[in-house]
């Protein structure tokens, strides 16, 4: 059972281009979280998705950023018209379906991240 | 507003010494608390996870405690090794309606173990 797979590991884009980051969750996991980490800073929540649904996007910038998790295939974080300030490490985590018990100790596993550099 | 605060921000200790990292949270309704270790340039790796009814959990030289009344957690590292140098992140989950969880990250404590 492979872990959370993110690709590419490193991505270089010129200002104004589009960046697409992919995240394949662990087998059996239907929940995906995206986080951004600026150099020397902590992880910042961006978006929480279930298959075909956005559960919480309160951390997503209002413009240029979008995320999806289709029924088939990986979750995609898309950044349009990238700017230098988008340079960061983007991490994806996945977790299994969460039951109705709100105190579940569901584990979330992280991928190794995609390092986006905008030049 | 859900918040997770960690202290200290950074810490330098000698190899072989013990240390304790702190995490205070204001997350409601509480679901679970996790400690992660993040090596530079890598994704976070889970160390421990605790629910409301658990007040201590160990993973090798790492021992986490949870006081749900005071909303505090600590991570104690015993007999530190050079490989313990990393950022340690406290993560608290709140239970949302429908069984979903909202995750709040602390900004982490950067630990450096020196010989």
Going residue by residue through chain A, which has 119 residues, state the pLDDT in tens, using 9 for 90 and above: 568 999 999 999 999 999 999 999 988 888 899 999 988 788 888 999 988 889 889 899 999 999 999 999 999 999 999 999 999 999 999 887 665 444 445 667 889 999 999 99
Contacts of residue A88 in chain B, CB cutoff 8 Å?
Answer: none
Confidence at residue B62, expressed as pLDDT on a 0 to 100 scale = 97
Is there a contact between A102 and B103 if contact means CB atoms under 8 Å apart? no
pLDDT band (50, 70, 90) for residue B25: very high
Question: Among partner residues B36, B51, B89, which is closest to A103 by beta-carbon distance?
Answer: B51
B positions 68-87 inside 8 Å of A (CB) = 87
**How close, in Å, is residue A25 to chain B by CA atoms?**
14
pLDDT at B14 over 60: yes
CB atoms under 10 Å from CB of A67, counted, come to 21
Of A16, A15, A17, A29, nearest to A75 by C-alpha is A29
CA distance A67 to A79: 9
State in Å, rounded, how far the first CA of chain A is from the last one. Answer: 36
Q: What is the pLDDT of residue B99?
A: 65
The confidence score (pLDDT) of residue A105 equals: 54
Task: Give the pLDDT of residue B82.
Answer: 97
Which of the pair, A53 or B84, is modelled with greater confidence?
B84
pLDDT at A39: 82
**Preferred mutation among B101, B102, B106, B108 to probe A, highest tally of A CBs within 10 A:** B101
For residue B96, give the chain A residue with the closest CA: A102
Look at A39 and B76; give whichever has higher pLDDT. Answer: B76
């Amino acid at each position: 059972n492979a872990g959370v797979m993110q690709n590419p590991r490193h991505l270089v884009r010129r200002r104004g281009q589009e960046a697409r980051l992919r995240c394949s969750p662990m087998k059996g996991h239907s929940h995906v979280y995206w986080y951004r980490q600026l150099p020397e800073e902590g992880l910042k929540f961006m978006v929480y998705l279930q298959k075909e649904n956005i559960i919480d996007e309160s951390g997503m910038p209002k413009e240029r950023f979008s995320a999806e998790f289709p029924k088939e295939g990986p979750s995609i974080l898309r950044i349009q018209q990238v700017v230098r300030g988008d340079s960061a490490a983007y991490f994806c985590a996945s977790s299994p379906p969460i039951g109705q018990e709100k105190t579940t100790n569901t584990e979330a596993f992280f991928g190794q991240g995609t390092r986006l550099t905008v030049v | 507003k859900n918040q997770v605060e960690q202290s200290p921000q950074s810490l330098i200790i000698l190899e072989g010494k013990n240390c304790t990292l702190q995490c205070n949270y204001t997350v409601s309704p509480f679901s679970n608390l996790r400690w992660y270790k993040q090596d530079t340039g890598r994704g976070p790796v889970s160390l421990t996870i605790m629910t409301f009814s658990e007040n201590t959990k160990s993973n090798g030289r790492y021992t986490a405690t949870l006081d749900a009344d005071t909303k505090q957690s600590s991570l104690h590292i015993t007999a530190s090794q050079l490989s313990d140098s990393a950022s340690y992140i406290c993560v608290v989950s709140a239970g949302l309606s429908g069984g979903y969880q909202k995750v709040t990250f602390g900004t982490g404590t950067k630990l450096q173990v020196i010989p």
